[in-house]
Amino acid sequence: MLQTRPAFHVGTHPTYSRIRHIDADPNALRVFFADAATIDVQELEYVPFMRFIIGKRLDDALGGDFGETIRAIIADRDTGGFTIGVAGTTQNDADYVRFGTAVAHLVGPSNFDAMSKTFYARFTVEHTDASDSYLRQAYRDMTLHTDGTFVDDATDWLLMMKFAERNAKGGESRLLHLDDWAERDRFAHHPLATVPLTYKSPPSKNVTQIVKRPTFFQSNGKTCLSFIDQFVYPDSQAQATYLHELSQSLERAAVATPLPTGDLVMLNNAFWAHGRAAFATHPELYRELMRQRGVFAK
Ligand SMILES: [Fe+2]
């Protein structure tokens, strides 16, 4: 049902002022969750158009211009990111998937996630880890990167939503808007900046293709980045040195940004880099996130 007035408010994120923080009216969220309860998670997985249908229901519950508002934020070079949460109205995993999917699909369709074999992935960070990338390793910083470097699909945006957190100290999102990176142009104007480099991913990603990508590119006349340290294969000492220095520079500039349980962050992947801070050691550490990545709706 369409609410007659906007049931959300756009403010500034308390930690990283580049990011917008959206407060949704809890009563409107309750209306959405009651309405969306008839769409189960399996239906969202199996029937792609239902992901857009649930997005429309969230837009209606929040007053009808929520989708337009978040599309404008994600496209706006001056921000390109926002956070929003369920405001304590639910702690149910299925509701979290519904909410994250609705928000995502008001911006555009999610890409297939080869790791999970559907349009979203849920992954945990715990005390021990036997994986082949930094994604689930708790006790080291996950270095700043952009997503989608090793796939052919475009990756215009990414969304991360926190489902659960126990015994978790540290582990903040580490974020950086490219216009806040003081040393950016030293790397963006370097002779290697636009040379296509080779990207390959480890077995857990279930992606066998090899992709060539330049580190920097232009979109709407603005500098954009495509980079991840773990999956780029330099051809020379000079390329390796360039990438190493670029990565260290990103690390120095990262802004630790907390994300409460039940909240999500959505970012423009062309001009935001993201990572995660290390957690403090705890034998019963548990944190679960959902991610979705996708393109802008046509
Ligand atoms: Fe990522």
pLDDT at 135: 75
How remote is the CA of residue 227 from the centroid of ligand 1, in Å? Answer: 10
Neighbours of 190 (CB within 10 A): 15
Confidence grade of residue 276 (pLDDT, cut at 50, 70, 90): very high
Q: How many CA atoms lie within 13 A of 193 on its CB side?
A: 14
How remote is the CA of residue 52 from the centroid of ligand 1, in Å? Answer: 24
In order of 76, 94, 121, the CA distances from 45 in angstroms are: 30, 12, 11
- Helix H segments across 111-236? 184-188
How remote is the CA of residue 274 from the centroid of ligand 1, in Å? Answer: 6
How remote is the CA of residue 110 from the centroid of ligand 1, in Å? Answer: 15
> Per-residue pLDDT tens for 34-92?
999 999 999 999 999 999 999 999 999 999 999 999 999 999 999 999 999 999 999 99
**Domain covering 8-178+252-294, topology:** Double-stranded beta-helix (3.60.130)
pLDDT at 5: 63
> Per-residue pLDDT tens for 187-201?
999 999 999 999 998
What is the rounded CA–CA span in Å between residue 191 and residue 181? 19
The Cα angle at residue 246 between residues 260 and 252, in degrees rounded to 5: 45
With beta carbons less than 8 A apart as the criterion, state whether 40 and 47 touch.
Answer: no
> Per-residue pLDDT tens for 211-235?
999 999 999 999 999 999 999 999 9
How remote is the CA of residue 145 from the centroid of ligand 1, in Å? Answer: 6
> Per-residue pLDDT tens for 246-258?
999 999 999 999 9
Helix (H) or strand (E) holding 257: strand 255-257
Nearest partner of 162 among 259, 94, 86, 97, judged by Cα: 259
Question: What integer best gives the mean pLDDT of the chain?
Answer: 95
How remote is the CA of residue 146 from the centroid of ligand 1, in Å? Answer: 6
Q: What letter does residue 195 receive in the DSSP assignment?
A: S
How remote is the CA of residue 173 from the centroid of ligand 1, in Å? Answer: 10
What is the rounded CA–CA span in Å between residue 6 and residue 64? 7
What is the rounded CA–CA span in Å between residue 165 and residue 260? 9
Q: Looking at the predicted structure, is the pLDDT value of residue 164 above 90?
A: yes
How remote is the CA of residue 92 from the centroid of ligand 1, in Å? Answer: 24
